[in-house]
Amino acid sequence: MRRVCVVTGTRAEYGLLYPLMKAIQADADLHLQVIATGMHLAPEYGFTYRTIEDEGFAVDAKVEMLLSSDSAVGIAKSVGLATIGFADAFERLKPDLLVLLGDRYEILAAAQTALVAQIPIAHLAGGDSTEGAYDEAIRHSLTKMSHLHFVTNEVAARRVRQLGEDPQAIFNVGSPGIDQIRALKLLDVKELEQDLGFSMRRRNVLVTFHPVTLEQQASTDQFAELLAALDSFGPDLGIILTRPNADNGSRALIRMIETFVSTRPNAKAFASLGQLRYFSTIKVVDAVIGNSSSGLYEVPSFKKPTVNIGDRQKGRLQANSVINCAPTQDAIRDALQKAFELDCSAVVNPYGDGTASERILQVIKQIADPALLLKKHFHDMESPYV
């Protein structure tokens, strides 16, 4: 059986990978291997590797990498630790194909290790652009280290071709996160309230705000503006917050969240909601607000508005339900008020129809020998395919 190894380092990334992992697991010709790393192994982010196991997957390796520091030095050292850990894991598991998604530094460590270990890489969600974070450079670097490219839209496919990748190795499949939205039976309002231990208000929002790693204004300053904007709506606004990714400055944001919810009964924070509760919350709330890619990838499928703050997601393809605003209290408040009044019933999600995992699996199974993918050729712009 061909060994297909999936690496996951965050709750959000795992949610996108879940339907593909299930499809690989169910295929008689493939053997799924799972490596958990990063936030999955950290107590402050909920030890979410347990969720992976609870949902029926065996975690074949755990690569510890996070230091008790979210400074630039700490993050850089974490990448080094991850590289060492992935070297040991790959040597033991000997995967035939490595599946990676996205643009985070945990995934960069996995890719550079696989590169020198001569393990072919299938990369999901390359070719996007996010100008407000150093994830942009990581994403394009992953493209150059990968051999199969499963992109979420045609604009991204064109960018991957522009990076010199073989057009015949680029597949526009959409976002696999939409697959899971179609498959899950979501909780209704009463079930969700009981599960969350939270009573919904007249209006409700879901908030996810991650550190901004390339913007001049500090993440804490931007987040303070967001919290002030939310506070201005008063106690009739229900606020559900999720913790940020483990990026530069994330711990300061976590402290701000804890302080905020400690004195406001209309607000509650979660280290991780998990897929079912997260999607059920999107279904119930009136708007999603923050700077997470989920606001662009998944939320439009629920016909709900997204308030996208700052430049962290600048450059991504967007549905008409996305409202962009500056990271200031007044701009955020105005955008949120507009979101409450926006009719999203006719919105079309530009990231596919919910069949991405099936398409990816078909391509993987058609590869006669993944090792033959390792030797790549640069395809110049003069190619008739570009």
- 101's enclosing H/E stretch is strand 97-101
The backbone torsions φ and ψ at residue 195, rounded to the nearest 5 degrees and listed phi first, read -65, -40
- The reply to whether 380 falls in a domain is no
pLDDT in tens, 242-271: 998 877 788 899 999 999 999 999 999 998
Paired tokens of 268? 């509650």
Do 361 and 249 fall within a single domain?
Answer: no
The type of residue at 165 is E
Do 109 and 149 fall within a single domain?
Answer: yes
Do 209 and 327 fall within a single domain?
Answer: yes
Residue-averaged pLDDT of the chain: 93
User: Quick count: other Cβ atoms within 10 Å of Cβ 127?
Assistant: 25
Q: Give residue 216's pLDDT.
A: 67
Residue among 347, 341, 351 at smallest CA distance from 313: 351
pLDDT in tens, 113-158: 999 999 999 999 999 888 777 888 999 999 999 999 999 999 999 9
- The reply to whether 386 falls in a domain is no
- The reply to whether 84 falls in a domain is yes
DSSP symbols for 175-211 = -HHHHHHHH-----HHHHHHHHT----SEEEEEE-PP
Q: In angstroms, rounded to a whole number, what is the distance separating the alpha carbons of residues 360 and 13? A: 16
- The reply to whether 321 falls in a domain is yes
Q: In angstroms, rounded to a whole number, what is the distance separating the alpha carbons of residues 85 and 175? A: 29
Residue among 92, 97, 143, 140 at smallest CA distance from 120: 97
Say which residue the tokens 């991957």 belong to.
160
pTM of the model: 0.85
- 270's enclosing H/E stretch is strand 267-270
Judging by DSSP bridges, how do beta strands 30-37 and 2-8 pair with one another? parallel
Do 215 and 250 fall within a single domain?
Answer: yes
Do 332 and 200 fall within a single domain?
Answer: yes
Q: What is the domain range of residue 74? A: 2-173+355-373
CATH of the domain at 280: 3.40.50.2000
- The reply to whether 324 falls in a domain is yes
Q: Given pLDDT bands bounded at 50, 70 and 90, which one contains residue 182?
A: confident
Do 105 and 226 fall within a single domain?
Answer: no
